[in-house]
Amino acid sequence: MSPMIAVIPVLALLAGAPTLDQAPGHFYNIDTEIRVEATVREIVLEPRYKGTAPFLVLRVEESGGARTFDVEIAPSWFFGQDVHGGEKVQIVGSLAETPGKTPTIIARELRYRGETFQLRDKRGFPNWQGGPKGKRGIRRFGRT
């Protein structure tokens, strides 16, 4: 086996590893999926992943004020809906916790104003895969 061929799998692993500005283990894990009803307290655009567009992040407080979460919605170019502070939302997503930081929910589904927005598929793969010119888009389910 050529030394160059042996290096390719190692480079592939390093390319997929979190960068210094990412939280370790910050990926969609269906085993940590939770459902939360909450109120939006703050809306921010944050650089979450090196070399990508800023993410829409909702800072929410769980109904009853029990816990607060940062909710990663999607890249700013993907989610074109208006969300306002004080709105009630329902989130289905993967809980990613880093000691000393606010728990993060990586959203798969967001429901508000009677509409459900599918941001990721059931396995956690993003609907924005392929970039702004990709073929996949936000999956929207009518009012209920």
Calculated CA dihedral for residues 14, 33, 36, 62, nearest 10 degrees:
-50
Q: Is the separation of the CB atoms in 110 and 56 below 8 Å?
A: no
Each residue's pLDDT expressed in tens, for the chain with a length of 144 residues: 555 454 444 434 444 444 334 444 468 999 999 999 999 999 999 887 777 788 899 999 998 878 999 999 999 889 888 899 999 999 999 999 989 999 999 999 999 999 999 999 999 999 988 766 654 555 555 555
Instruction: Give this prediction's pTM.
Output: 0.74
Question: Domains in the chain, please, with CATH?
Answer: 26-141 (2.40.50.140)
- Kindly state the tokens that stand for 17: 């590893």
CA atoms within 13 A on the CB side of 36: 30
